[in-house]
Every structure is written in C-alpha cells, then in structure tokens.
Structure 1
Amino acid sequence: ALPIFTLRLYEGETLGVVGESGCGKSTFARAIIGLVKATDGHVAWLGKELLGMKPDEWRAVRSDIQMIFQDPLASLNPRMTIGEIIAEPLRTYHPKMSRQEVRERVKAMMLKVGLLPNLINRYPHEFSGGQCQRIGIARAL
C-alpha cells in the first residue's frame, strides 16, 4: 500500500519518481495511467477524474500520459521494428497523420534520444538494454 500523499504537477514540469525497491513507485505510476485499479484516493488530469474512467475515456488521456517501463526489452514487441514501435502511438492518437509525416516524426524522435534513423527497420533484440530504454522513451515522446 502506498502512503497518503498529494502531488500537483503543473504545465511544463517533469516528474521523476525515485525510491527504494518495493516502495510502490511502479504501482503509483500504473495507477495513474489506469493499468492497475486504485482502491482509494483521487487522481485527476486536467480536471478530469481518472479513477473509474471508462476505457473509451482513457483514449484521450493516454495521448497525454505515457509510461516508460523499467524492463525495456519486455515492454517492446519483438515482432515489430523499432520504427513500428515508436510510430504506434502516433498512428493510434493521430490517425489522419500521413505515413510520411509519421515516418519523419519517428526519425526525429529517434534522433532526440540518440538513435540513428537508419536503424528504423531493426528489431528490439538487435539493441542493447540502454538502447531499448531509449526506444521506449522515443515511443513515449
């Protein structure tokens, strides 16, 4: 169980969650994005209550909130290229975006996290753990 606490994050701020192993960091993050059911409390994003939100309501919220998982290789689909992995949220949340624009945005995100765009058609198993973490960050961006 997580202790009771209040957190306010304002526009332009970034949040990093740190703590000892087993203290509830992952549970906290998963509850915020709706991957685990919180049993008590209040979580709001831009004035919308997240706890109890219906799956179709989460769609709009998830375009703003992303999670970068601890184990990067386990969170990347081994059957997809890294280009497809990074593009997936763009295609989901911006369905009218052209294929060319998606590809350009993917390449820009790759550069932003220190991955060369010519690696776009490679698979997760071809990268180191640190590189896979950067793929996850690019996907979240």
Structure 2
Amino acid sequence: MTVPLLEARDLSTHFPVRRGLFRRESKAVRAVDGVSLTLAPGETLGLVGESGCGKSTLVKTLLFLEQPTGGEIRFGGEAVTAADAGRLRRQAQIVFQDPYTSLPPRMRVAEIIAD
C-alpha cells in the first residue's frame, strides 16, 4: 500500500470572536471544522466552493500558515507540527485563481469540468 503524500484527519481551524465592552471571547467562527482528506502521490487537489466557505483557510491550515485548532496533519506518513512545517511548505504550492477569468460565465459547471 502506498503511503499518502498528504493526509488530514478531523482538521479544525476556529477563530475567536471578541465582543462586548471588555472584548471578552464569547464565540468562535468555525472556518474549518472536522475536515479529513487523503492525497496520494501524483494527485492534485482542487477546492471549489462558495465565497467564505473556508477553502483558503483549509489550505493555509494544511501548510501551518494558520494554526489548526484540532486534528492531525501527516506528510509522507509522518505527523507534521508547526515547528517542522517548513519541509511541507517547500513541497507544496497554493494556486489561487481569479474567478472572473477562470470560469466562463456562459458555460454550465458540468461543461467546465468536462472541458
């Protein structure tokens, strides 16, 4: 069995919301909550979703650009911590697309994917 290149188990990233007169922490925004994924060598991961659904936060959390609230990230079968995330960042690349030029508005989603 091939060892997954990248694996996330029950990954979460929550951001505190401070409200009130004394700016107490009262709630948290759950930007990423309980995400699990496995990426095999040679595979490419594409995240698609509505604006504000947590796509960028998930990728930043996978690369430890955001601190995960919970869960586990493994790279090449080994657990990754914030202290050794540099080796993961050297092997990964984030590509953000401009939605106004990347998706033709006259095509249906099924046609875009098939293309």
Q: Could you say which residue in structure 2 is the equivalent of 1:8?
A: 38
Q: How does 1:40-119 map to 2 (within 5 A)?
A: 40-50=70-80, 52-54=81-83, 57-69=84-96
> Which protein has the bigger strand share?
2
User: Are the counterparts in 2 of residues 18 and 25 from structure 1 also a CA contact under 8 Å?
Assistant: yes
Give the drift of 1:63.
1.9
Q: CA RMSD in A?
A: 2.1
Structure ranking higher in helix proportion: 1
Task: Find the residue that maps to 1:42 and give its secondary structure.
Answer: strand
TM-score by length of 1: 0.44
TM-score, normalised with respect to structure 2: 0.52
Q: Moved runs in structure 1, 4+ residues, more than 3 A?
A: none
Partner of 1:115: none
SS at match of 1:61: helix
Q: Percent identity?
A: 37
The count of aligned residue pairs is: 70
2:55 is aligned to 25
Q: What runs of 5+ residues in structure 2 fail to find an aligned partner? A: 1-29, 102-115
